[in-house]
Amino acid sequence: MTIERRDVLRSAAMLGLGLAAPAIGQPTRKLGYAIVGLGYYGLGVIIPQFAKCAHSRLAAVVSGDRAKAERVAREHGLSPQAIYSYANFDSIRDNPDVDIVYVCLPNGLHAEYTIRAARAGKHVLCEKPMAVSVAEGQAMIAACKTANRKLMIGYRCHFEPFNREAMRLARSGAAGKIRFVRSEHGFVQGDPGAWRLKRALSGGGSLMDMGVYSLQAAHYMTGEEPVAVTARESTDRRDPRFAEVEDMIDWTLEFPSGAIAGCLSMYSANQNRILLMGDKGRIELEPATRYDGNRMWTGRDGREREVTPPDAQANQFAGQLDHLADCAVSGREPIVSGEEGLRDMAIIKAIYRSAREGRTVRLERGA
Amino acid sequence: MTIERRDVLRSAAMLGLGLAAPAIGQPTRKLGYAIVGLGYYGLGVIIPQFAKCAHSRLAAVVSGDRAKAERVAREHGLSPQAIYSYANFDSIRDNPDVDIVYVCLPNGLHAEYTIRAARAGKHVLCEKPMAVSVAEGQAMIAACKTANRKLMIGYRCHFEPFNREAMRLARSGAAGKIRFVRSEHGFVQGDPGAWRLKRALSGGGSLMDMGVYSLQAAHYMTGEEPVAVTARESTDRRDPRFAEVEDMIDWTLEFPSGAIAGCLSMYSANQNRILLMGDKGRIELEPATRYDGNRMWTGRDGREREVTPPDAQANQFAGQLDHLADCAVSGREPIVSGEEGLRDMAIIKAIYRSAREGRTVRLERGA
């Protein structure tokens, strides 16, 4: 179902229908975003992208650091009324300039701010992973449903041109019958004080961070839902970075077609690769899911042909921001909905359980 | 212990001591090999390598096809007395021209011909996997011990210059602390009639063939013995190729250091790669274990520097043949002994068991 939605949307985008037909769902004005959290991602990565957006603009900032928020507001031409603290965040309901709230906070705060944003009548773009538990994810979906607002998860790779072209190639049968997808994401986490290493904020270690990329790639490369997971964790608990969360998890997802995805996340080595192997060939991305500089190859045995998508210069962040703006206006469901985020939460839970119990865990259909 | 042996030997080889000091273990004549099995590997791959050997020569052939054996004997200047059938193979004991028997038969025949060769007073080089069960492997080792003959397994990658350089780099700490080794081997098995797909001859599917490369690389890249294995299998049993044996197995080996090896073997897609990830960098080979054309890169994040070993032109097959000739004369143990083969048989058994039972299987120390 997710794939069908995705394909419909992709086809529309490829034909230029999206831009040609504003009447069926394009905003006639740029929708206003409030960025919640002015950390590295919200401030350093997301805010600069609005300059490249067709249907989205920065309308407000939410921060616990008033001085920082004032500086950002000045730099982006926002009035002081567009600055919110975490305490007065709920009053954003009275700001008609804000259509969408983008939650760029640590994972442990996603549920609270998504639910408060929905109750304030705003659509929500929430960073991945959507929450730190299945129950939180369900509550977030329910809150947005009750408020009749859209909920989208920040799975930016669905808007990244190399990953989109890889999905298209995989679906087209370019690699033949898909047998195995390898998806590995890691980096050397150097700072023992990082919030990502504090369980209360992160909900877990590398799996809750880079692992989400590996898991998503397994979905969108196979186009299938997994039915079982088998996982192993390895963490040096004497390492001060890993007192609270795991370093490395390796897991296998089994799909109904018989395809397997072998996934890895880690905080102790650098890796960023997706490789699909089929009986007729392969599709490989490395780096696969970076902000930029991604590359792709196809071949029968190895990296035989480098592939550059026709829209290689498309900006994945602008694509993501504009997509939710479009959905907010058209009423369409985002291609990466809260339900997709929730399914990933259920799989993450099963991965942890499998690693803990040392056995394969079956996933419920649609889990 | 294996690693120590290996390092001693490598150091000796690198200093040229091997060739400089024949008195301490170099043959003063070329030792004679009998090749058992004139199939693709014995006839097509191995026999031509003797031309490149310093201490080994072809001395006899063993085949069920008399006409083929006569043709090969003629082409290589062997007398009719150097031709054996499987029926009269035991009379090879009376041929002083044969020092070593190289068993190039299907896996299911390795034990029988290794044991018969040892009883005939010959050293044995046996193709991998050494057997189709742990019990067979034990019997092979016992037979060679009783006969006071060397037993070596055809793990040719230990003589392959790119793999040797990768081992050296890994041991030197070039990648820092080793966290993860990825080892993937597969090809599209096209012929449903291949002996490798018949359980009685192969003992299993891709794991007993390409999987042995993945398993070996996990050993020699980490330099450790695994303590646990977790495996999943995926085979389309409706595919006529896979009526008797498995297509694809993905498995994880855990090592005492906390490193993990994620391994894959398959008969339904092409893949040939080894990747070591450490906290300071990586070592990658692709293709990794081919007869020739292997390549290697190091880097912090990806393929940053291509590495060509100083002895890149060294012939792995000649290196393997000459190594056992040297051991036969010097009395040293081969760097890839029967015990190493047996340990792999025990791990293979655990991989199959883990996949079957859907749970992690602990390996006994030294298993």
- What does the pLDDT look like over B337-359, one tens digit per residue? 999 999 999 999 999 999 999 99
B230 and A235 in contact by Cβ < 8 A? no
The catalytically annotated residue of B33, B213, B220, B352 is: B213
Q: Is residue B367 part of a domain?
A: no
Taking CA–CA distances from B258, the nearest residue in chain A reads A234
Q: Which residues in chain B have their CB less than 8 angstroms from residue A272's CB? A: 301-302
The reply to whether A211 and A86 lie within a common domain is no
What is the spatial distance between Cα A89 and Cα A91, in angstroms, rounded to a whole number? 5
pLDDT of A3 reads 38
- What lies within 8 Å, CB to CB, of B28 at 6+ separation is B22, B329
What is the spatial distance between Cα B153 and Cα B151, in angstroms, rounded to a whole number? 7
State pLDDT tens for residues A319-343. 999 999 999 999 999 999 999 999 9
Q: What CATH code is carried by the domain that includes residue A140?
A: 3.40.50.720
B180 and A269 in contact by Cβ < 8 A? yes
Res. A58: pLDDT tops 70: yes
What is the spatial distance between Cα A56 and Cα A37, in angstroms, rounded to a whole number? 18
A179 and B254 in contact by Cβ < 8 A? no
What is the spatial distance between Cα A269 and Cα B301, in angstroms, rounded to a whole number? 9
Q: Is residue B246 part of a domain?
A: yes
The reply to whether A291 and A210 lie within a common domain is yes
Average pLDDT over residues A28-42: 96
The catalytically annotated residue of A84, A113, A122, A128 is: A128
Taking CA–CA distances from A262, the nearest residue in chain B reads B250
Count of residues for chain A? 367
The reply to whether A324 and A206 lie within a common domain is no
Average pLDDT over residues A22-27: 52
Res. A25: pLDDT tops 80: no
Q: For this structure, is A128 an active site residue?
A: yes
| Any A CB within 8 A of B224 CB | no
Q: Which residues in chain A have their CB less than 8 angstroms from residue B272's CB? A: 301-302
Percentage of chain A lying above the pLDDT 90 cut? 91
pLDDT band at A100 (very low <50, low <70, confident <90, very high): very high
Which of A269, A282, A300 minimises the CB distance to B278? A269
| Any A CB within 8 A of B237 CB | no
Taking CA–CA distances from B185, the nearest residue in chain A reads A301
B252 and A248 in contact by Cβ < 8 A? no
A258 and B272 in contact by Cβ < 8 A? no
Q: Which residues in chain A have their CB less than 8 angstroms from residue B252's CB? A: 232, 250
First to last CA, chain A: 14
pLDDT band at B367 (very low <50, low <70, confident <90, very high): very low
B252 and A260 in contact by Cβ < 8 A? no
Q: Is residue A175 part of a domain?
A: yes
pLDDT of A206 reads 98
The reply to whether A228 and A275 lie within a common domain is yes
The reply to whether B177 and B147 lie within a common domain is no
What is the spatial distance between Cα B149 and Cα B143, in angstroms, rounded to a whole number? 9
Average pLDDT over residues A300-306: 95
The reply to whether B67 and B177 lie within a common domain is no
Task: State the smallest CA–CA distance between residue B258 and chain A in angstroms.
Answer: 6
The catalytically annotated residue of B128, B155, B220, B267 is: B128
B179 and A279 in contact by Cβ < 8 A? no
- Domain with A70, as residue range(s), is 2-156+318-335
Taking CA–CA distances from B278, the nearest residue in chain A reads A269
Taking CA–CA distances from B295, the nearest residue in chain A reads A302
Res. A1: pLDDT tops 90: no
| Any A CB within 8 A of B179 CB | yes
Res. A9: pLDDT tops 70: no
Task: State the smallest CA–CA distance between residue A279 and chain B in angstroms.
Answer: 5
pLDDT of B365 reads 63
- CA dihedral angle for residue A61, residue A66, residue A68, residue A74, rounded to 10 degrees: 60
The reply to whether A215 and A289 lie within a common domain is yes
| Any A CB within 8 A of B230 CB | yes
The reply to whether A64 and A119 lie within a common domain is yes
Write out the two tokens for A45.
């990565």
pLDDT of A364 reads 82
Q: Which of B227, B255, B260, B356 to mutate to test the interface with A (most CBs of A within 10 A)?
A: B260
Cβ(B248)–Cβ(B167) under 8 Å?
no
pLDDT band at B23 (very low <50, low <70, confident <90, very high): very low
| Any B CB within 8 A of A292 CB | no
DSSP code, position A304: -
The reply to whether A179 and A249 lie within a common domain is yes
Task: State the smallest CA–CA distance between residue B236 and chain A in angstroms.
Answer: 7
Q: Which of B177, B178, B179, B263 to mutate to test the interface with A (most CBs of A within 10 A)?
A: B179
Task: State the smallest CA–CA distance between residue B301 and chain A in angstroms.
Answer: 6
Res. A51: pLDDT tops 70: yes
What is the spatial distance between Cα B23 and Cα B237, in angstroms, rounded to a whole number? 57
The reply to whether A140 and A21 lie within a common domain is yes
Report the predicted TM-score, pTM, of the whole model to 2 decimal places.
0.90
State pLDDT tens for residues B73-127. 999 999 999 999 999 999 999 999 999 999 999 999 999 999 999 999 999 999 9
Which residue type is seen at A96? P
Q: What strands, in cross-sheet order, belong to the sheet with A100-103?
A: A83-84, A56-62, A31-36, A100-103, A123-126, A151-153
Q: For this structure, is A352 an active site residue?
A: no
Task: State the smallest CA–CA distance between residue A191 and chain B in angstroms.
Answer: 14
**ipTM confidence score:** 0.88
pLDDT band at B27 (very low <50, low <70, confident <90, very high): low
Cβ(A155)–Cβ(A336) under 8 Å?
yes
| Any A CB within 8 A of B286 CB | yes
Q: Please count the structural domains in chain B.
A: 2
What is the spatial distance between Cα B171 and Cα B14, in angstroms, rounded to a whole number? 15
Q: Is residue A300 part of a domain?
A: yes
Q: Is residue A42 part of a domain?
A: yes
pLDDT band at A27 (very low <50, low <70, confident <90, very high): low
A279 and B268 in contact by Cβ < 8 A? yes
Q: In angstroms, what CA-CA distances link A31 with A16, A101, A326?
A: 21, 11, 9
Q: Which residues in chain A have their CB less than 8 angstroms from residue B262's CB? A: 250, 262, 264
Could you tell me what percentage of chain B is helix, strand and coil, using 3-state DSSP and rounding each to the nearest 5? 40, 20, 35
Q: Which of these, A345, A188, A170, lies nearest to A257 by C-alpha position? A: A170
Taking CA–CA distances from B270, the nearest residue in chain A reads A301
**Lowest mean pLDDT segment, chosen from A22-31, B72-81, B237-246, B265-274:** A22-31
Average pLDDT over residues A249-271: 97
State pLDDT tens for residues B282-308. 999 999 999 999 999 999 999 999 999
Task: State the smallest CA–CA distance between residue B194 and chain A in angstroms.
Answer: 18
pLDDT of A136 reads 98
Res. B5: pLDDT tops 60: no
Which of B259, B277, B359 minimises the CB distance to A358? B359
The reply to whether B25 and B79 lie within a common domain is yes
The reply to whether B117 and B18 lie within a common domain is yes
A269 and B234 in contact by Cβ < 8 A? no
A258 and B279 in contact by Cβ < 8 A? no
What is the spatial distance between Cα B151 and Cα B140, in angstroms, rounded to a whole number? 8
Write out the two tokens for B28.
């003063």
B232 and A177 in contact by Cβ < 8 A? no
pLDDT of A111 reads 98
Q: Which residues in chain B have their CB less than 8 angstroms from residue A179's CB? A: 234, 247-248, 266, 268-269
Cβ(A333)–Cβ(A327) under 8 Å?
yes
Window 323-362 of A: residues touching B by CB (8 A cutoff) are 358-360
Q: How many CB atoms lie within 10 A of CB B30?
A: 18
Q: What CATH code is carried by the domain that includes residue B256?
A: 3.30.360.10
Task: State the smallest CA–CA distance between residue B114 and chain A in angstroms.
Answer: 35
Window 184-213 of A: residues touching B by CB (8 A cutoff) are 184, 186, 188
Q: How many CB pairs under 8 A join A and B?
A: 114
Dump the DSSP string for A268-335. SS-EEEEEEEESS-EEEESS-SSSS---EEEESSSS-EE---TTTT--HHHHHHHHHHHHHHH-PPPS
Task: State the smallest CA–CA distance between residue A15 and chain B in angstroms.
Answer: 34
| Any A CB within 8 A of B254 CB | yes
State pLDDT tens for residues B122-148. 999 999 999 999 999 999 999 999 999
Q: Is residue A367 part of a domain?
A: no
